[in-house]
Structure 1
């Protein structure tokens, strides 16, 4: 299977892609003026002086270009890219023509979340064995703090060869970040002809969120299956000892506790608790954003904390064999179906790359939590900044519906207060007070609210939820 070919331009096409430079106009004008003056004035010296300009121009234009340069962008093969990892890419200019490109000026746009620290040219050998030309001009280092890709690069490309502008740096934030569009302009025929700008489409680099350390060691409140890693309170085959009881028909002989049986002179067996899997639903509140993202080592916005915490929670529970599903609380109402395993974790990471804040004036509850879309036994972990009253109402409705809900506060702790004195500062304090009251009301409704803090963030609250799940419920008539 051969790759796509780029058609060569015909002899009648150069005017559409190539244009004369001012140097060609000056050469023709100067030669013409000297020739006319020499003929009119009868001076041979003026004609001799015009000869080099005329002959040089004719010699440079003896072979005209027939094809435009080819430009494409390739991403480095370094495996999955995570925040803080090394990113590599190359912007390549190819010469499919029958003449050398004397001068190639390249420039490429790069996402500000991809900090390019090193850039330089690496030349591919010519396909037909042509000799490589002189070294190209590149750049290394990042002394000014800006990406070194934000500047033009100059090189030359021989016949049937390609030159790579290699870019290397760091990925500062999760998401799909573009490298490009990239463009190139070529001068040939001794600088007398220049091509139009050839621009290629950008290539988007996938940067996965860095997984923050998280490990919840408490039991799940309720599980839906009989296979898993969580110790439930239901008797069954498992590894957690629940006690010793009298032997009953159906008990396995390997469960007999002979020490207790000999002492009691009656057969006793060791009772265990079943190991069950659970369904974890991670709900992402995307109605509002706050804070300013500073990248992987800087300040975290609400969206940064939400995405990184979701990746950590999903990795933890999927590693334990549970099923994980994702939901967006917003007008888009995106969802990821529950599944388990390594494949589901990779799907979660891909799904998180498209998380965006969607402000909406409508209530998205019904379209997010339709009938039979949320299991009654699932643990719902809601990542929310609690900046919208609808988010609090959603949490209260889930709790009143008998769901096991845990709210994780994703609002940045270092959120700056207004610098203006007067009513702006007073309004900020009133908003803070109103938010604390709202959190207190949620806790009165049975919704625990905790702040995300990495490892062990949800241990205490899961312990409380598991205790509530085993408490007797009062049913109405």
Structure 2
């Protein structure tokens, strides 16, 4: 534990004061006494204001859970400020964490308040805020406590809440209540048509203008509104590219996680049930659910995603997705087993949408270098896999933010209403 120790300034003042006074008296030189008088004052005031108790210093973060780009403060608390005049804090630099001040050093007079360090995580995940050291100084800069190492703090950073909205309906909703238009006639607000009154119809459904004009009772029919089950399959097998946080370029895993978070927030907000499957060496599966608490669970799981180079793509995706569910596969589609598993899910009759998260990446370096040639061959194989999925009827769309899936979901909804002819 740190304790109060004299500063170099106090030691120097004491030596000069003692040397000047003793030299002046022994040598009979009054000028030495005059020159040493200021140092006598400094030494006396420094010794007089020595703190009597060792303080207990703690640091704490205001918020332990943030979104990318949001900021919080790391505050310092001292149990006893008696005799303390100045406080200084020094924080080490940490990856994908911005600080204010930028150099991470802040100091203030205690009379103006204890120094506060502001931090802002720039990438999702669990971010360490960096090691920190704290030092306290007494009045007249005579005594110093520390520098002492503080416990390192970390925050859980959720993916950035990317603006996303869609006006398209999920095909074949099968829930009890929601905003999507069902193929079945039921109690809802979506107008379907007008027909003659039959036994069992509710009287409040009678449309009197049509009934008076035709002389027979007619009722208004509506479509039921149901929710849908939406599965998000996140490919965390590899991370292609270098992440620059929200201020720089995005890697494939950045695009995948942020797109999954935006889709989950959108569907939960509209009342749908959302499930999550993260493909790693130890796959993580969250069942279908809805509500703000379920959304926090999904986003917290996405924040803990880590790319594992040892993991392999599964041969089969077992989601337990029933009829009426739609599966969004968010992946750069660089591995054949994952494409095969997606095709198997499509053949089982599930509505599948592949969201391409590779992004637009410029080729760097010599185009004839071995690494560049290997990358071009991998892209050619990937494009061939995507064409094969398209031939099976699986839409593949690059992630563009708002409106990415509108056209695709409308096409799937129309396809689900087309009568199917099955050979016997």
Q: TM-score, normalised by structure 1?
A: 0.72
Shift of 1:107: 0.5
CA RMSD for the aligned pairs?
4.1
The answer to whether the aligner puts 1:408 opposite 2:364 as a matched pair is no
State the match for 1:465 in structure 2.
Answer: 412
CA contact (8 A) 2:87 2:115 kept: no
Q: Secondary structure at the match of 1:337?
A: strand
CA contact (8 A) 1:384 1:391 kept: no
Q: Secondary structure at the match of 1:106?
A: strand
Alpha-carbon distance in 2 for matches of 1:181, 1:172: 18
Alpha-carbon distance in 2 for matches of 1:459, 1:255: 33
State the match for 1:241 in structure 2.
Answer: 191
**Residues 93 and 198 of structure 1: CA distance in aligned 2, closer, same or farther (over 3 Å):** farther
| Gapped regions of structure 1 (runs ≥ 5) | 1-12, 118-147
Shift of 1:283: 1.7
The answer to whether the aligner puts 1:223 opposite 2:177 as a matched pair is no
CA contact (8 A) 2:138 2:144 kept: yes
State the Cα deviation string for residues 333-353 of structure 1 (Å, max 9, x = none): 223332223443444444433
State the match for 1:184 in structure 2.
Answer: 134
State the match for 1:96 in structure 2.
Answer: 80
Alpha-carbon distance in 1 for matches of 2:84, 2:372: 66
- The structure richer in helix per residue is 2
Shift of 1:240: 2.7
Q: Secondary structure at the match of 2:171?
A: coil
State the match for 1:70 in structure 2.
Answer: 57
**Residues 32 and 396 of structure 1: CA distance in aligned 2, closer, same or farther (over 3 Å):** same
State the match for 1:341 in structure 2.
Answer: 291
**Residues 270 and 189 of structure 1: CA distance in aligned 2, closer, same or farther (over 3 Å):** closer
Q: Secondary structure at the match of 2:89?
A: strand
Alpha-carbon distance in 2 for matches of 1:308, 1:164: 37
CA contact (8 A) 1:283 1:380 kept: yes
Q: Secondary structure at the match of 2:129?
A: strand
The answer to whether the aligner puts 1:420 opposite 2:366 as a matched pair is yes
State the match for 1:369 in structure 2.
Answer: 318
The answer to whether the aligner puts 1:315 opposite 2:299 as a matched pair is no
Deviates more, 1:252-261 or 1:22-31: 22-31
State the match for 1:251 in structure 2.
Answer: 201
2:336 is aligned, of 366, 369, 389, to 389
Alpha-carbon distance in 2 for matches of 1:363, 1:210: 26
**Residues 186 and 456 of structure 1: CA distance in aligned 2, closer, same or farther (over 3 Å):** closer
Q: Secondary structure at the match of 2:131?
A: strand
The answer to whether the aligner puts 1:450 opposite 2:403 as a matched pair is no
Shift of 1:320: 2.1
Q: TM-score, normalised by structure 2?
A: 0.80
Alpha-carbon distance in 1 for matches of 2:55, 2:356: 55
Q: Secondary structure at the match of 2:114?
A: strand
Alpha-carbon distance in 2 for matches of 1:170, 1:336: 29
Q: Secondary structure at the match of 2:181?
A: strand
Aligned residues: 419
Alpha-carbon distance in 2 for matches of 1:238, 1:201: 57
Q: Secondary structure at the match of 1:197?
A: strand
Shift of 1:64: 6.0
Q: Secondary structure at the match of 1:165?
A: coil
State the Cα deviation string for residues 174-210 of structure 1 (Å, max 9, x = none): 4444434321134559666544432222333455444
The answer to whether the aligner puts 1:327 opposite 2:277 as a matched pair is yes
The answer to whether the aligner puts 1:306 opposite 2:256 as a matched pair is yes
| Gapped regions of structure 2 (runs ≥ 5) | none
**Residues 165 and 253 of structure 1: CA distance in aligned 2, closer, same or farther (over 3 Å):** same
CA contact (8 A) 1:110 1:149 kept: no
The answer to whether the aligner puts 1:355 opposite 2:305 as a matched pair is yes
State the Cα deviation string for residues 96-151 of structure 1 (Å, max 9, x = none): 265445x544202354544334xxxxxxxxxxxxxxxxxxxxxxxxxxxxxx3425
